[in-house]
Structure 1
Amino acid sequence: MPNETAIPLDPGRLIYGLKAIGSRIGLTERQARHLHDKGDLPTRKKGKRVCATEGALVEWLRQLQGSDSND
């Protein structure tokens, strides 16, 4: 079992920065930036910073899983 401590899910929690967003969903910062730039990640700008809610990221991942099972 990994020694990592799981962070509990809080759907309203804002995650700031593409590095943190990517890390939370298993992507590198570069992968998260690519998806953000394409408009594929549920992110928004807050001032100059990119952020996303955990709830939006979880829903996005669920939709991806659902679309994969339909292929």
Structure 2
Amino acid sequence: MPTEVIVALIAFLGTAVGSWSGIRISNKLVDYRLCQLEEKVAKHNQVVERTYRLEEQIKVANHRISDLEVKEEHYEHE
């Protein structure tokens, strides 16, 4: 085989291996970042759910306070 062909094959193999390695490393980094993002989203969703529950509890507490105020006014007028 002519030397030019051998050099071209070696260059091709080097380029292919380098590209493949770069793609693998890039994919691993994307996977890692995606996992980190999923964890952050899960934490955020937990905060949203807790906030919703707290808002509901506050709404109930405010309603109970309003009921007590109405009862107090009723007893004051008697």
TM over 0.5: no
TM superposition score normalised by structure 1: 0.29
Q: Would you tell me which structure has more strand in proportion to its own residues?
A: 1
Q: Would you tell me which structure has more helix in proportion to its own residues?
A: 2
Greater RCO, 1 or 2 (C-alpha within 8 Å, sep 6+): 1
TM superposition score normalised by structure 2: 0.26
